């Protein structure tokens, strides 16, 4: 079993569901949180799959983890979690940025 591929695929599916719910089943701030979370999660699910093809799984793990934190906190707030969860969201964003920087470092090394 390829755990990174499994998690990236599940992440992509969840992202589509969250985005659809944000577009059709939620309103106001909750809809925006769902759409934003879905967009970031879907982009990084695809990026994680690409890292597997590039044999750069480290950044892929950061993409899956960071998007789970980033989007997950937005999703939780959209369904009623306390707004202080929003303070956790930037941690996920930081992990996503670290994944992109790691991938850039691999590319710069000729990897």
The answer to whether the CB of 56 falls within 8 A of the CB of 111 is yes
Q: What b/e readout covers 59-75, taking b as 16+ CB neighbours within 10 angstroms?
A: bbbbbbbbbbbbbbbbb
- Name the token pair of 68: 């789970």
Along the 111 residues of the chain, how does pLDDT read in single tens digits? Answer: 899 999 999 999 999 999 999 999 999 999 999 999 999 999 999 999 999 999 999 999 999 999 999 999 999 999 999 999 999 999 999 999 999 999 999 999 986
Domain count, the chain: 1
pLDDT for 79 equals: 96
Residue-range definition of the domain harbouring residue 19? 3-108
The alpha carbon dihedral of 94, 100, 104, 107 has a sign of positive
């Amino acid at each position: 079993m390829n755990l990174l591929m499994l998690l990236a695929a599940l992440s992509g599916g969840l992202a589509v569901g969250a985005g659809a719910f944000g577009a059709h089943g939620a309103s106001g701030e909750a809809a925006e949180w769902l759409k934003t979370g879905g967009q970031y999660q879907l982009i990084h699910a695809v990026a994680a799959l690409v890292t597997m093809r590039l044999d750069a799984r480290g950044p892929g793990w950061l993409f899956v983890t960071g998007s789970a934190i980033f989007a997950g906190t937005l999703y939780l707030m959209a369904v009623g979690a306390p707004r202080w969860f929003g303070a956790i969201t930037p941690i996920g964003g930081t992990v996503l940025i670290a994944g992109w920087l790691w991938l850039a470092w691999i590319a710069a090394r000729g990897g």
